[in-house]
A and B are shown apart, each in its own frame.
Chain A
Amino acid sequence: SQQGEEDPQALSIQEGENATMNCSYKTSINNLQWYRQNSGRGLVHLILIRSNEREKHSGRLRVTLDTSKKSSSLLITASRAADTASYFCATDGQGGGSNYKLTFGKGTLLTVNP
């Protein structure tokens, strides 16, 4: 079963607007990561937030993590047409050792209109 679930499934905005995507997960985690995928190609790593962190910034990206609610959000500010892509959250679970793996949500398809 999917650990992470992104919300919304699809989001369409105008260039310059902010885009917010949410992710919920079910079990305890070591970290949560956000990835971007353009048109069925490989995933690009955006940002990793550890379970003891609440907020992290990287350029126009801001990620928050609320472990009590088992949720995370990704904010892209001042969006550009080039930000059009699918965005996935991934969690590692706290099963370290041989149980380690990333579990991905089904993603949010972001469309930024010029």
Chain B
Amino acid sequence: EAGVTQSPTHLIKTRGQQATLRCSPISGHTSVYWYQQALGLGLQFLLWYDEGEERNRGNFPPRFSGRQFPNYSSELNVNALELEDSALYLCASSQWTGTRSKETQYFGPGTRLLVL
């Protein structure tokens, strides 16, 4: 069974540009989560999509947005890039088990974004 995949693996942009990151969840998983891992800040929750809808978002400005497609893959868009957006962006997927107490998130390899 294929795991969570992300593309591209690396992305270099300049300040003010837009970045688009993509994620394909594990087959059968309907939830996709995005996290940012910036140096010194740890893993920060960004967004949660489930069944095509945004369910929750972390403490990030509106220039961080995304969407989930009918096939459950997801896109994260970062507009007006700033230097501090440089980070590893991780996508995770999960399958609803009927209870949150048993839900496990499976992570992809990440996209490393560098903003110059």
Q: Which residues of B contact A106 (CB under 8 A)?
A: 42
Q: Are A96 and B104 in contact (CB under 8 A)?
A: no
Q: When A42-B90, A102-B105 are in contact, do A92 and B42 touch as well, CB less than 8 Å?
A: no
Dominant SS at the B interface? strand
CA distance A104 to B45 in the complex (A): 8
Binds B, one of A19-27, A43-51, A60-68, A76-84: A43-51
Tell me which residues across on chain B come within 8 A of A104, comparing CB atoms. Answer: 35, 42-43
State whether the Cβ of A41 lies closer than 8 Å to any Cβ in chain B.
yes
CB contact list, A1-32 vs B, under 8 A = 2, 30-31
B110: CB under 8 A from chain A? Answer: yes
Q: How far is the CB of A81 from chain B (nearest CB, A)?
A: 22
Instruction: Let me know if B110 and A42 touch, CB within 8 A.
Output: yes
Interchain nearest-CB distance for A92 vs B (Å) = 6
Closest to A101 in B: B45
Tell me, yes or no, whether A88 is within 8 Å of chain B by CB: yes
CB <8 Å contact, A40 and B55: no
Contact B102 A31 (CB under 8 A): yes
> Could you tell me if A99 and B42 are in contact, using CB atoms closer than 8 angstroms?
no
Q: Interface 1/0s, chain B 37-80, versus A by CB < 8 A?
A: 10000110100100000011010000000000000000000000
When the two chains form their complex, are residues A42 and B109 in contact, meaning their CB atoms are under 8 A apart? Answer: yes
For B107, list chain A residues within 8 Å (CB): 35, 42-45
Contacts of B45 in A (CB 8 A): 101-103
* Contact surface of B with A, Cβ cutoff 8 Å: 4, 6, 33, 35, 37, 42-43, 45, 48, 55-56, 58, 88, 90, 92, 99-110, 112
What are 26 of the A-B contact pairs (CB < 8 Å)?
A2-B42, A30-B99, A30-B100, A31-B102, A31-B103, A35-B107, A40-B37, A40-B110, A40-B112, A41-B109, A41-B110, A42-B90, A42-B107, A42-B109, A43-B90, A43-B107, A45-B107, A50-B101, A50-B102, A88-B43, A90-B43, A100-B55, A101-B48, A102-B105, A105-B42, A107-B42
